[in-house]
Amino acid sequence: MSDTTDTVENRSEIVFLYDAEDTNPNGNPLSANDKPRIDESTGKAVVTDVRLKRYLRDQLDDDGHEIYIKNPSKADYEGAIDRDDLFKAVTGLEEDDIEDYTGAEAADAFLNNAVDVRYFGATASFSSEFQSALGDGFPGQFIGPVQFSHARSLNTVVQKSESKQLSTVVSSGGDSEQGTFATDNRLQYALVPFHGIVNEVGAESTGLTEADVSRLDTLLWRALKNQTLTRSKMGHHPQLYLRVEYSTDEYHIGRLDDGLAMSQDTPDTELRNITDVVLDVSRLSEELDRSTEHIDTVHVKANPHLKVQTKDDTGGPDQLVTALEGAVGEGAVERIDVYDTGE
């Protein structure tokens, strides 16, 4: 467990909305040329929770936190290392040290250091010798208390394909050149809502703290800003983050993202950016209004360019906050400064 004692007590439900403009939100490596994932029945873009968690882990790594599942391109060791060495790299413990620990103490050391495991869990399988040193009290699996569903875009999407010369290699012999061509697959525009849960019951098994949950309030936003700088991922923009923190034990509304809808004059096939879209949050506000007695705080951040429609009016982020305050009360809405990490 974490060495802090403030394991999170309240369940939270998260809605995180971002858009993808002329980019590939989540390529399918099993398809030709890493095509974007698209639901064949609905024509909507699909983004997996694994893709989102990779952004979050990379941002945690950049923020200086130790993580267990590192991005190979960012790892500070050469070549692939096995799980035994990953454990030692994360905890700073050598095998001789581990033999002095009980399995439960080794698990505490692991969770104290591997912040991504406290959030998302992990399967911890090691060599038989290393597992023997850890002892029987070390769990083989940690179930993460923070989970996200796969996301499907609010709009049907248009895929653009273009063949491009990606590189040119000059031969060692002199003037002759060799070119490399590949097909570049991108989506014209997709507005993607993720839905997540912070489960306070599951938090007990990994020691997820209140500070960890507060970190999520800035982490998702900054991760989309900072971890989408490669050529294929340029064009992502966070638009809305909402964490509804409940006061009633083991309670959450469920699928709050279903309360979001697009309202636009432009057909889906002609959408280009966020200025073509109005986000209808009327049903979301109604859901929150019906559950006011169970809600402690609504933490919110919206992009200044986002236009929202409520049952009363249409406007920017202030209109959204007004609608939320009307639903749950003025004192229960907290605006987030995503750059105030407190760390």
| Count of other CB atoms within 10 angstroms of residue 74 | 11
What pLDDT score was predicted for residue 255?
96
Q: Are 25 and 194 in contact (CB under 8 A)?
A: no
343 residues of the chain, pLDDT tens digit each: 444 568 999 999 999 999 999 999 999 988 888 899 999 999 999 999 999 999 999 999 999 999 999 887 777 766 667 888 889 989 988 888 888 889 999 999 999 999 999 999 999 888 998 988 888 889 989 999 999 999 999 999 999 987 776 555 555 555 555 566 778 899 999 999 999 999 999 999 999 999 999 999 999 999 999 999 888 889 999 999 999 999 999 999 999 999 999 988 999 999 999 999 999 999 999 999 999 999 999 999 999 999 999 998 999 999 999 999 999 999 999 999 999 887 7
- Rounded to whole angstroms, the Cα distance separating 192 from 183 reads 24
- Rounded to whole angstroms, the Cα distance separating 213 from 144 reads 13
Q: Are 302 and 251 in contact (CB under 8 A)?
A: no
| Count of other CB atoms within 10 angstroms of residue 200 | 19
- Rounded to whole angstroms, the Cα distance separating 6 from 217 reads 17
- Local structure of 254: helix, strand or coil: coil
What pLDDT score was predicted for residue 98?
86
What pLDDT score was predicted for residue 300?
98
- Rounded to whole angstroms, the Cα distance separating 86 from 83 reads 5
What pLDDT score was predicted for residue 96?
83
Smallest CA-to-CA distance from 238 within 37, 62, 14 is with: 14
What pLDDT score was predicted for residue 73?
79
What pLDDT score was predicted for residue 3?
46
| pTM exceeding 0.95 | no
What pLDDT score was predicted for residue 289?
98
What pLDDT score was predicted for residue 74?
76
